[in-house]
């Protein structure tokens, strides 16, 4: 009897997932045969092979600190000039031309389902959820738990009346299911949306998506370009190093600041497909010709097998090896911000 109940539950779960994600997309990055999204330049990650799993499990485990305090700066309500604040992991506040944009907002204590599973946050958010300035845009790069957090999304929708959610193809359904009643704009790669004086363009990333058991790559993943007369900021989302950075550089000739991920890159042979390490991020910075790079996606949630602080230390080392001018790399601790100066103006 018990087995029958379990089987019925599993069958229900499969049907539910199937109907939830069974949709046709008019996108060249959606394969009608597999009914999944893909990146055309490299096979898209879909299953974890035994070999990859073994490499992850056999890599020596590393111990991170339990909890770290953060020095919080007074919050700036709005700014004409560009200001970028590190709230933690991929959550950044971009302020420019009197607009406030938040990327991949995650304020929960765990990056996982139900608030009880998944890696624990070791650094508190650089700005608390209650102290955020009025937000105009929440940009969500993909559906992994460390980038899309239900309780944060619900809180932002409730407390920020002007907010518009910008999401990749396939994620709108989820937000609607959560009861979000603010505008939700779904973008395919190379499509744009304008909000007042801000132009947001979705750009490719080398990654994948999964939230449940059977929805691998059923929703798209993306990076974002944010442009106003005050400057242009590129947010890479979650990505490995790939030729898409050259494609982005071909279309965007003047990028002021690039927010590029450097963490969760070990074991490198397994992770490089989906995440950049510090050296990869510097290669991307060179390909994009960004005036300045801010490293993101490290030392907040332990997702890879690197030591705490290792990504940052390796970044500093590689800057010297690759002979990149030091002033181009802006390392922001959680809570710190980069304020514009004439260097970033067009």
Number of residues that bind Zn ion (CB under 5 A): 2
Stretch of 150-158, 189-197, 237-245, 251-259 contacting Zn ion, by CB under 5 A: 237-245
> What x/- string results for residues 186 through 225 when contact with Zn ion is judged by CB under 5 A?
----------------------------------------
Nearest-approach distance from CB 345 to Zn ion, in angstroms: 33
- 133 or 267: CB nearest Zn ion: 267
Q: Which is nearer to Zn ion, 209 or 230 (CB)?
A: 209
Shortest Cβ 198–Zn ion spacing (Å)? 25
Least separation in angstroms between residue 145's CB and Zn ion is 9
Question: Which of these segments, 100-108, 144-152, 183-191, 194-202, binds Zn ion (CB under 5 A)?
Answer: 144-152
Of 126 and 304, which has the nearer Cβ to Zn ion? 304
Among the listed residues 234, 232, 187, the one whose alpha carbon sits nearest the alpha carbon of residue 97: 232
CA torsion, ordered 140, 251, 94, 92, to nearest 10 deg: 50
Distances (CA, A) of 59 to 52, 54, 70, 304, 315: 11, 8, 30, 10, 21
Question: At closest approach, how far in Å is the CB of 201 from Zn ion?
Answer: 20
- The residue number with the shortest CB distance to Zn ion is 144
Reference 262, options 211, 318, 320, 214; nearest CA is 318
Residue 299 has, within 13 A of its CA and on its CB side, a CA count of 21
Give the number of other CB atoms < 10 A from CB of residue 249: 17
Q: Pick from 144, 174, 211, 285: which binds Zn ion (CB under 5 A)?
A: 144
Comparing CA positions, the residue from 241, 150, 163 lying closest to residue 204 is 241
Among 238, 280, 310, 318, binds Zn ion (CB under 5 A): 238
CB of 28 to Zn ion, least distance (A): 22
State in angstroms the smallest separation of the CB of 142 from Zn ion: 6
Question: Which one of the spans 36-44, 87-95, 143-151, 310-318 is the region binding Zn ion (CB under 5 A)?
Answer: 143-151
- When asked if residue 149 is in the footprint of Zn ion (CB under 5 A), the reply is no
Report the residue number, 84 or 205, with the smaller CB distance to Zn ion: 205
Nearer to Zn ion, 238 or 299 (CB): 238
CA pair distance 304, 62, nearest whole angstrom: 9
C-alpha count within 13 angstroms, C-beta hemisphere, residue 44: 23
Closest contact distance (angstroms) between CB of 186 and Zn ion is: 18
Strand, coil or helix: 43: coil
Q: Where are the alpha helices (DSSP H) in the chain?
A: 2-21, 50-58, 150-159, 172-177, 244-251, 268-271, 278-288, 310-321
- Rounded Cα distance, 182 and 172, in Å: 11
Binding site for Zn ion (CB under 5 A): 144, 238
């Amino acid at each position: 009897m018990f087995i029958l109940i379990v089987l019925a539950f599993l069958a229900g779960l499969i049907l539910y997932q199937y109907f939830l994600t069974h949709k046709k997309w008019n996108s060249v990055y959606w394969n009608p045969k597999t009914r999944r999204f893909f990146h055309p330049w490299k096979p898209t990650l879909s299953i974890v092979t035994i070999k990859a799993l073994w490499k992850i499990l056999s890599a020596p485990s590393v111990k991170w600190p339990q909890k770290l305090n953060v020095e919080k700066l007074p919050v700036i309500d709005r700014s004409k000039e560009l200001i970028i604040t590190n709230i933690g992991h991929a959550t950044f506040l971009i302020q420019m031309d009197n607009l406030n944009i938040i990327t991949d907002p995650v304020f929960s204590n765990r990056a996982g389902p139900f608030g009880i599973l998944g890696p624990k946050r070791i650094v508190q958010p650089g700005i608390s959820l209650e102290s955020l300035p009025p937000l105009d845009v929440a940009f969500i790069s993909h559906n992994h738990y460390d980038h899309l957090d239900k309780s944060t999304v619900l809180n932002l929708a409730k407390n920020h009346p002007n907010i518009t959610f910008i999401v990749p193809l396939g994620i709108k359904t989820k937000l609607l299911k959560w009861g979000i009643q603010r505008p939700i704009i779904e973008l395919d790669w190379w499509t744009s949306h304008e909000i007042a004086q801000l132009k947001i363009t979705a750009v490719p990333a080398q990654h994948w998506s999964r939230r449940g058991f059977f929805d691998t790559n059923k929703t798209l993943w993306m990076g974002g370009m944010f442009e106003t007369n005050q400057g242009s900021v590129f947010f890479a989302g979650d990505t490995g190093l790939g030729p898409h950075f050259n494609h982005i550089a071909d279309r965007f000739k003047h990028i002021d600041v690039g927010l590029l991920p450097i963490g969760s890159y070990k074991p490198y042979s397994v992770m490089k497909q989906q995440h950049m390490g510090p050296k990869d991020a510097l290669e991307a910075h060179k390909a994009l010709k960004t005036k300045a790079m801010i490293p993101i996606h490290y030392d907040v949630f332990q997702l890879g097998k690197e030591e705490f602080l290792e990504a940052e230390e390796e970044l500093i080392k590689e800057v010297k090896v690759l002979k990149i001018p030091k002033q181009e790399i802006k390392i922001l601790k959680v809570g710190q911000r980069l304020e514009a100066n004439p260097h970033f103006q067009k």
